[in-house]
Amino acid sequence: VIGNWKMNGCLERNASLLAELRSMSCADRVDVVVCPPFPFISQAKDVLSGSAVSVGAQNLSSFKDGAYTGEVSGSMLLDLGCSWVIVGHSERRSVFGETDHVVATKVALALELGLKPILCVGETLAQREAGEAEAVVQAQLDGVLAVVGAALASDIVVAYEPVWAIGTGRTATPDQAEVMHAFIRAHLERSGVAAQKVKILYGGSVTAANASLLFVKPDIDGALVGGASLVAESFSLICAAAAAI
Ligand code: 13P
């Protein structure tokens, strides 16, 4: 269960949220990761040190180092103690123009550095209504597979986040999500990836109320949680739901 804080938080508020997450009892039975904005990564590492909760980042540069003003490299994230990084979130693709090629470069760089990439894929509402959801997701996966190769791709965590379900309160139904997750796993398998090893997370309006219904599905291995990850009680309940299953 991964919390994507997006561009939210401040030192004071983070301190109480992180302190509550630190004491979560289920974190030894489920992989729990929080991804704060870059400036708060050290704070999260400090408060969570010695706990079972890991820290990740929301993005990394597609360049290794050098004259790239405003960028944050993967090796800096490692230096700060991050072990995970979200790549290709739909907000990065749509607001910041990240192409499949940039996303693939970032995934490859993360893998090379030993950061675990969480690759986000997902279709827009228009694409779903046009019957293109699977083709869109397949193209997003193929862009990465072409650069990374099937052998290394089993180390990627895939997050299926239908764009129409992000921050809208409109979750994909567990059946809709499962159909896409099964498609993703089958496509990875067809592409020569050890797909049973790959964790496929669902993201998009996951709450404490709907998490269990999603987690019981065989191909839904966890969740990438936005809004609900900013509230300790909600995030803890989602983690507990995963641990229970
Ligand atoms: P919400 O849970 O707020 O819908 O956000 C999902 C998301 O984009 C996580 O990366």
Per-residue pLDDT tens, the chain, 245 aa: give them.
999 999 999 999 999 999 999 988 887 799 999 999 999 999 999 999 999 999 999 999 999 999 999 999 999 999 999 999 999 999 999 999 999 999 999 999 999 999 999 999 999 999 999 999 999 999 999 999 999 999 999 999 999 999 999 988 888 899 999 999 999 999 999 999 999 999 999 999 999 999 999 999 999 999 999 999 999 999 999 999 999 99
* Angle, helix 133-148 to helix 174-190, in steps of 10 degrees: 40
Q: How far is the CA of 63 from the centre of ligand 1 (A)?
A: 26
CA-229 nearest atom, ligand 1? 2
Rg over CA atoms, the chain: 17
Distance from residue 76's CA to the centre of ligand 1 (Å): 25
**pLDDT for 170:** 85
- Surface-to-core class of residue 232, CB atoms within 10 Å of its CB (0-12 exposed, 13-18 middle, 19+ buried): middle
Class of residue 141 by CB neighbours under 10 A (exposed 0-12, middle 13-18, buried 19+): buried
Mutate to test the pocket of ligand 1, among 1, 2, 4 (most ligand atoms within 8 A of CB): 4
Name the residue of 224, 234, 237 whose CB sits within 8 Å of the most ligand 1 atoms, as the mutation to test its pocket.
224
CA of 86 to the centre of ligand 1 (A): 12
* Index of the ligand 1 atom closest to the CA of residue 89: 10
Q: What's the whole-model pTM score?
A: 0.97
Which residue's alpha carbon is at the smallest distance from atom 5 of ligand 1?
A: 226
Backbone phi, psi, residue 30, to 5°: -145, 145
What is the set of active-site residues?
A: 89, 161
